Structures are given as C-alpha cells and as structure tokens.
Amino acid sequence: MVAIASQHADVEAGLHQHRQAQRRVFAYVATFASLFLGFFVLRRFGWQGSTELHTLMEALAAMLAFIVGTMALVRFHSKKNSTFLFVGTGFLATGLLDGYHAVVTSSFFAASFPSVPASLIPWSWVASRLFLSVLMFVSWWAWRREDRLGESGRISERAVYVSVVCLTVFSFLFFALVPLGRAYFPEIVFHRPEEFVPAFFFLLALVGYLRKGHWRHDAFEHWLILSLIVGFMGQAMFMSFSGQLFDYEFDAAHALKKVSYVLMLIGLLISMYHLFRRAEEHLEDERERARRDPLTKLLNHGAIVSELERALESSRTSKPGHYIAMVDVDGLKHVNDTYGHVVGDKLIVAVAEALDQEGAIAGRYGGDEFVIILPDATY
C-alpha cells in the first residue's frame, strides 16, 4: 500500500509539473505575440516624448537595476549559485550605465562630453543594453561550464567583480573621451541597426536558458526567461525601428526595459521566498528530530517530560484533567538475551506503534518504559 501511494504521489507530481510547463510555454508565446502585435497597433498613434520624460524613465530604470542587482547578490550569498552572481553584478553595473544614460539627456551636461546628444543618448543606451545582454549570456555560459566541468569550472567571485568593474569604468571613460558617430540611419529599414548587437546576446541567453530546462520547475528561471523575451523584443522589434529621439519606438523600448527589470525582480523575490521557506522548514524538521526518539520516532525523554510538566500544570488550573499512563515492556531483557537486540528493537518499535494513537501524546521515557498522555480525558 505504501509503494502504491508513493507511485500515485509521483504520478501526481509529474502531471503537475507537466501542466506547469505547458502554462509557462503559453506565457512565453503570449508575451512574444503581444509585443509583436502591439508594436504595429500602437505605432499608429504618432507618440512623441520629451527630454524630461526620458530622464525620468532612465532614473527609474537605474533605481530598479540597483534593486535587482542588490537582491541578486543577496540571493547569491545566501546560497551560492553563479547565475545570481552574474545577474547581480550585471544589473548593478547596468544601473550605473542607466544613470549615466539619464544624465546625458540633460542639457546641463551637453557641453561636458565630446559628442552631441543626438549621438551620445542612443549610444549610451546601446552600451547599457549590450552590457546587460552580455552578462545574461555569460551567466548561462558559466552555468554550462560549471555543469560540464564541476567545481573546477566555477568562475571565482573575485574574477567576476574585477571584470565587471573594469568594463564599467572603461565604458564611462569611452563616452567621456571618444567622439561618437551617428546612431541613426534613416536610409535603411532598421534606423538603428546597432540595436541588433545586444538583441543577439539577449537571444543567445534566451535560447540557452530555454535549452537548460530549469524553467519547467524553477520560478526564478521562468521569470528570467520572460525578462529576456521582453528585453530581446525591446531591442530587435522596437528600438531598431526608432527614427529619432523620443519617438514611439524609442520610448516604448525604454518602457519595456523597465518591464524586463520588474520581471527579473519578481523572479528574485519568489526565489528568495522559496529559499527562506525551505530554510525555515529545515529548521522545523531539525527541531522536531531533536524531540524524537531515533528508534521509535515517539517523543524522547526530554520532550515527554516537558509534555508531562505541561499536562500537570494544566490540570491544576482547568477541568477536566489529563489521563497519564506509564507502560513498560515485560520480558525485554529476556528477548534481547535470547534473540538479540535486533529482535528486541523490533519489539520496542511494535509497542511504540501501538501506543502512538490519534489524540494521544506518547513518548519513550527510557529503555522499555513509555508514557502516554490523553489530553482532557475524563474517566
């Protein structure tokens, strides 16, 4: 019966996971289709944004990126996983680049850079997106390397931190010192073809994580894939068609970037919740095991004495009281001497199973002695 029940539970778990995977595939397809169709529907309205709106959106993006990066690193240090290390460092660096992208929009800083805003704004956007897309791809590549090579394939935290800091500083110096060429090419269909570079890395990361397959059961990787889909579509479908600063495609891509950040944040929150819940359940299991006799699984001596004290204290202040019985196993020593302790232990376990009834508190007081407490029993 136990084997049949176990098999039934396994089948139910398998069906649940299969249905969950189907729902998630539907969510991926629906997200892609919604963005694809939404691009054509909404572009007819002729939206035109402004410098102020762009600065506000990028300030919000920088704040979200810092939150995501910080939470990812907290998650990484709670339970080491290289994916969270790369996501955390990638988003923290992206937050700095998004903040820089917001600053260069302001006319107050226009004279501080060697490039005009018409070039600096789109290229600083590309830098931020390229940085994040590459880190997302590297996070998958690092998992694959570690999965293939084991512990020897793990990339050290120090190497990741140093590399990300150096690349971030290089990005700032590049924009501060190097004159930039034009970013818009109205003579071709895709007015900003450079957007396909980060789109390519987002796509590589997306394909990698889909092939990895953990999205079927892992909540974080499910939301990560949704974030990658939105990030990819924002680059390939929206920003690549932007014909000028602050047009519909430009602002929509900026909005989608923040949506992708929020999706990643949701995944991190769920992952941290599951991690803390598992830790709490493990702690509860440890506490419960500490109260149990290892042979009979009844309450051990210390736990049953505590229950006795609680029952006696309760009996002094309330009616009805408790029924308490002491039981010992006659002839246990003879069984041990004649048939061995293995048989004696089986006898102890059989007695314990008989005493462990619903509504009763049973414990092994020691050796062959047991205590049974029936709460609120009247006789």
pLDDT band at 358 (very low <50, low <70, confident <90, very high): confident
Q: What is the pTM of this model?
A: 0.83
Instruction: State residue 319's pLDDT score.
Output: 64
Segment 227-260, tens digit of pLDDT: 999 999 999 999 999 999 999 999 999 999 999 9
222 in Cβ contact with 189 (< 8 Å): no
CA distance 106 to 116: 12
Cis preceding-peptide flag for 320 (omega within 30 of 0): yes
Position 125 confidence tier, pLDDT thresholds 50, 70, 90: very high
Structure confidence at residue 114 (pLDDT): 67
- According to CATH, the topology of domain 301-374 is Alpha-Beta Plaits (3.30.70)
Task: Give the amino acid at 238.
Answer: F
Cα 31-32-37 angle, rounded to 5 deg: 100
Domain ranges of the chain: 16-285, 301-374
How many residues are there in the chain?
Answer: 379
The pLDDT, as a whole number, for residue 111 is 62
- Comparison of pLDDT for 266 and 302, the residue scoring more: 266
Residue type, 27: A
C-alpha 150 chain-centroid distance: 22
CB-based contacts of 201: which residues, under 8 Å, 6+ apart?
130, 133, 134, 136, 137
Chain mean pLDDT for the chain = 89
Residue 370 has pLDDT above 70, yes or no: yes
Question: What does the pLDDT read at residue 357?
Answer: 83
pLDDT at 379 over 50: no
Query: C-alpha distances in angstroms, 84 versus 70, 71, 208, 209, 223?
Result: 10, 9, 16, 14, 13
pLDDT above 70: residue 5: no
Q: How confident is the model at residue 336 (pLDDT cuts 50, 70, 90)?
A: confident
9: pLDDT strictly greater than 70: no
Q: What is the pLDDT of residue 378?
A: 47
| Domain spanning 16-285, CATH architecture | Up-down Bundle (1.20)
